[in-house]
Amino acid sequence: MASATTSSFSSLTLSKALLGNLDSLGYKTMTPIQAQSLPPILAGQDVIGQGKTGSGKTAAFGLGSLNKLQVEKNAVQTLVLCPTRELADQVTAELRRLARGLANVRVLPLCGGVPSRIQAASLERGAHVVVGTPGRVEDHLRNKRLDLQNLTTLVLDEADRMLEMGFEPQINAILEYVPSKRQTLLFSATFPTAIQATAKRVMIEPVMIKVDSTHDENTIEQHFYPVASEAERLIAVKLLLLQHQPTTAVVFCNTKKATQQVTGMLLQNRFSAAMLNGDMEQRDRDVTLTRFANGSVCTLVATDVAARGLDIDSLDAVINFDVAHDAEIHTHRVGRTGRAGGSGMAYTLYSQHEEYKISEISSSALERSEALPDKSVLAEKPPEPNMVTLEINSGKKQKIRPGDILGALTGQNGIPGDAVGKIQITPIRSYVAVKNTVASTASGILNDGKLKGRTCRARIVRG
């Protein structure tokens, strides 16, 4: 880890514009992965970075690529590949924040869920940085809508998940369009054999950076519970949620079928819950993530791949309904709680057949396994969300901005400003979280009033 004297961003050879913007954002001290990876990245070397979620890897590859951009050249110079649209959207937002001090830098997302023709029109206007999913990027390249001949930096973000999701053919196809003389940066939470083989094939003498991904027991408390049957496993989820009453929790499952079973059981028992898996339509996935992120849903039941890209800073608890396939995936799951210096809880359920997996996760876990909470907690009320999500049938295409929605809701005879939560604007819809005590009033204000001089329709989004 960098010493105290070298952990400041000001110790790096970054441009004055980037350093000034970092200062305005309050970014003073580098995280371990930034302190170790940024010097070789800025020196032009290929880098492999391994670290848990929330380690600060986006700023590491973002600052490195932005620092060498030739803004006057209206051409794609950096390509960031991500496994999911959700993660690509987050990376795009962070890169735009980091680039605020640079004049006229265009960061363009290329993912499914948006018509290719709209993205093609944006590409014609030019972009410096493209962030996309492998399938959509490969489609634009194949149809000659995307030109990478001026590319200087290729980033493979969450590379393990891209291979796990079957994107290797698309990545190989994309590499055919990428200049051989380039810098390649690969970031991954885990480093299985498949990633090692990919790195060897696409990188030149990479510098390996590995940030310790074990969790401080003072920050994340881990508990392990044996279960005798699948029926007891389902009851266990209910008992843990009722005993600990987390405001935000993710229940991790290994299969889509399990997400359906757990979500169905929770909804039947009046829990605030939503499901996230790969079989869902993109719009449904987006709405689910929006509701969970803005506090309208307490519990998200998800597979590992579907939850990649989930960006919640204050996740109270993680429940492993199934034991993860390997110890590194378990570490990644657990790392979603206790982020940003906060505390968190992780509860893992395991059967007799899964004891060997538990031993791989922690040598002492079996010895310190616990009994589940007493069934008397079933008399408790499930935790309830404080917020409700309203969906508005207007978005970026109608030039709607967050301030327009906030103004409409809090104007004369409106609701208090502190009753309005997160606002998200998409191309054709907008979502706003409001306290559940004023949800009907807020919906009525939007339906009876106007946004940007136009009438709109708003509805409360239910599970």
Domain spanning 9-210, CATH class: alpha beta
As its CATH architecture, domain 387-460 has 2-Layer Sandwich (3.30)
Euclidean distance between CA atoms 190 and 111, whole angstroms: 24
Q: Locate the domains of the chain by residue range.
A: 9-210, 220-379, 387-460
Q: In what order do the strands lie in the sheet with 47-50?
A: 107-110, 129-132, 78-81, 153-157, 183-188, 47-50, 207-210
Question: Residue 28 half-sphere exposure, CB side, CA atoms within 13 Å?
Answer: 3
Q: What is the pLDDT of residue 43?
A: 95
Euclidean distance between CA atoms 201 and 336, whole angstroms: 31
Section 150-164 average pLDDT: 91
The two tokens of residue 76 are 């794609």
Q: Residue 365 CB: number of other CB atoms within 10 A?
A: 18
Residue 379: pLDDT band by 50, 70, 90 thresholds? very high
Euclidean distance between CA atoms 34 and 55, whole angstroms: 8
Dihedral in degrees, nearest 10, Cα atoms 440, 446, 448, 450: 170
Residue 187 DSSP SS3: strand
Same fold, 9-210 and 220-379: yes
Euclidean distance between CA atoms 131 and 86, whole angstroms: 11
Euclidean distance between CA atoms 284 and 263, whole angstroms: 15
Q: What is the pLDDT of residue 327?
A: 78
Residue 214: pLDDT band by 50, 70, 90 thresholds? very low
Q: Residue 422 CB: number of other CB atoms within 10 A?
A: 15
Mean confidence (pLDDT) of the chain = 89
Euclidean distance between CA atoms 323 and 189, whole angstroms: 18
Euclidean distance between CA atoms 95 and 105, whole angstroms: 10
Section 29-45 average pLDDT: 92
What is the pTM (predicted TM-score) of this model? 0.67
Contact 390, 432 (CB under 8 A): yes
Higher local confidence (pLDDT), 279 or 406: 406
Q: Tell which residue, 168, 163, 169, 110, has the closest CA to residue 140.
A: 110
DSSP code per residue over 146-180: ---TT--EEEEETHHHHHHTT-HHHHHHHHTTS-S
Residue 107: pLDDT band by 50, 70, 90 thresholds? very high
Higher local confidence (pLDDT), 143 or 2: 143
Measure Cα distances from 433 to 88, 221, 324, 400, 445 in Å.
23, 30, 33, 16, 14
Residue 4: pLDDT band by 50, 70, 90 thresholds? very low
Q: What is the pLDDT of residue 326?
A: 78
Q: Does position 232 have pLDDT exceeding 60, yes or no? A: yes
Q: Residue 260 CB: number of other CB atoms within 10 A?
A: 15
Question: Residue 26 half-sphere exposure, CB side, CA atoms within 13 Å?
Answer: 0
Euclidean distance between CA atoms 241 and 253, whole angstroms: 16
The two tokens of residue 196 are 């090692």
Euclidean distance between CA atoms 249 and 319, whole angstroms: 7
Measure Cα distances from 415 to 297, 422, 445, 463 in Å.
22, 15, 9, 24
Euclidean distance between CA atoms 460 and 389, whole angstroms: 6
How does DSSP classify residue 371?
Answer: P
State how beta strands 387-392 and 344-350 pair: unpaired
Q: What is the pLDDT of residue 1?
A: 39
Euclidean distance between CA atoms 409 and 447, whole angstroms: 11
Q: Does position 198 have pLDDT exceeding 90, yes or no? A: no
DSSP code per residue over 74-115: -S--EEEE-SSHHHHHHHHHHHHHHTTTSTT--EEEE-TTS-
Given CATH 3.40.630.30, say whether it is the number of domain 220-379: no
Q: What is the pLDDT of residues 318-359, one digit of tens each?
A: 999 999 887 777 877 887 776 545 567 899 999 999 999 898
State how beta strands 299-303 and 249-253 pair: parallel
Tell me the one-letter amino acid at 448: D
Q: What is the pLDDT of residue 3?
A: 40
Contact 391, 458 (CB under 8 A): yes
Residue 241: pLDDT band by 50, 70, 90 thresholds? very high
